[in-house]
Amino acid sequence: MKIFPIEQVGINEIDAYGIVWYGNYLKYYHQAQQSFIQKFGELIAMNFHDSKKYGEVAKVVTYVINDQYIYQTILVGNRTINEALFKLSNSLLVDYINKSIKRKIKLMQMIEQKSVKPQDYLGFCDTMVRVYHNMLNGNTISYEVALDLFEQSRTKLIGGNLRLSFLHSQEDCLFVVSKLNGLKRSNIKVQCMDIIISRVTLVRYTNRMIFMFRHELLLGDKVIFECELQLCSFSMKKKTLTPISKKTETTVFEMFTQC
């Protein structure tokens, strides 16, 4: 086990609600991995239990399961706010195996096996994006930029930031990320000034409260990034899931029709 303190949280890492933007959790996990095993793993699943507020002291706890998997969790005090499972691309020989963590591995592998097939979609929407130098990490798009592009595409689907503000102030509705599964990055090279496509596919939704999206970044017909993300509609006053309005539902499907 290895503990990595999250000490540097800048104001640019906080969203409009005063909490850490969900894409930054991946950055914290990667920083902890780099300090521990000097390599990055491939994200299999990430579960969101709570949010880190600006100024809160947090830490990343990393468990090496075997030569293929590491399990990480982010703690604020003794409260688990996030957990993730990563698969190592190269063998890492270790002797330490934690039985309680292995049970978590089995549970999260079940989540992975239940991943939705891409052809089961209800509709998709494409956004063209030009690549600039600050979006690249070596010869490809960085993880944080990919998640940010996915966020922008989803926001576009529901009518933009103005619609989000209206939902928050008038309908007491926040869209909260609850799961992030199967984030994969290919070895396809991307260059500055390339045009890529950010594709959002609405795979399924339940009771106007739980939405499963599939995200892809495409260079031509080649996938350079992909993941599946579950979004929930949450009431701050009731502290529970709440359905979006019929009007918002209509807006989303109109956007898919126009794409």
Q: What is the pLDDT of residue 102?
A: 53
Based on its alpha-carbon atoms, the radius of gyration of the chain, rounded to whole angstroms, reads 18
Residue 120 — very low, low, confident or very high, per pLDDT cuts 50/70/90? very low
> What number is the average pLDDT over the span 33-49?
84
Q: What is the pLDDT of residue 60?
A: 94
The answer to whether 68 and 82 have CB atoms below 8 angstroms apart is: no
Name every residue whose Cβ is closer than 8 Å to that of residue 117 and which is 6 or more positions away in sequence. Answer: none
> What number is the average pLDDT over the span 19-25?
89
- Per-residue pLDDT tens digits for 177-191: 899 988 989 989 999
Give yes or no for residue 12 having a pLDDT over 60: yes
List domains and CATH numbers for the chain: 2-113 (3.10.129.10), 118-258 (3.10.129.10)
> What number is the average pLDDT over the span 130-146?
90
